[in-house]
Structure 1
Amino acid sequence: MATEDCDQVQTMTASGGSMINQNSLSTKLSRERERLESRLGEIKKAEEMLDANPTLKELFDVIARIGHL
């Protein structure tokens, strides 16, 4: 989907299209990057917790948190 958006923006910009579409795509990509960085942070926290020999409850908490992502 992102590739299609990029192609659309490139086509529109090349033909004199609106820069608003390019700004909209940049905003979407920034939000997606923030979401993925947040998810990666949660996964890293879970990995650290697993390395610390968690209790059974902590283990289920990690599984629930990662499963929620």
Structure 2
Amino acid sequence: MSRKQFRVTGMSCEHCAASITEEVSQVPGVSQVDVDVKAGSVSVGGTDLDDALLRAAIVEAGYEVTESVAA
């Protein structure tokens, strides 16, 4: 399983985490999503993860990806 991590702005509560988890979970290959609201990070685990699709899912949930971080 590979992992990707993103810095995300605009998250402030568990509802934010749930929205991101719901959107990102629909991306092909995703098997795990961990959102840390306090740290402003989203960590995604799975196989054949597509960085652009993951970013698009986070944006679709209403948040901004500021950078990808080596996971």
* Structure having the larger proportion of residues in helix: 1
With structure 2 as the length reference, what TM-score do the two structures score? Answer: 0.26
User: Which has the higher Rg, Structure 1 or Structure 2?
Assistant: 1
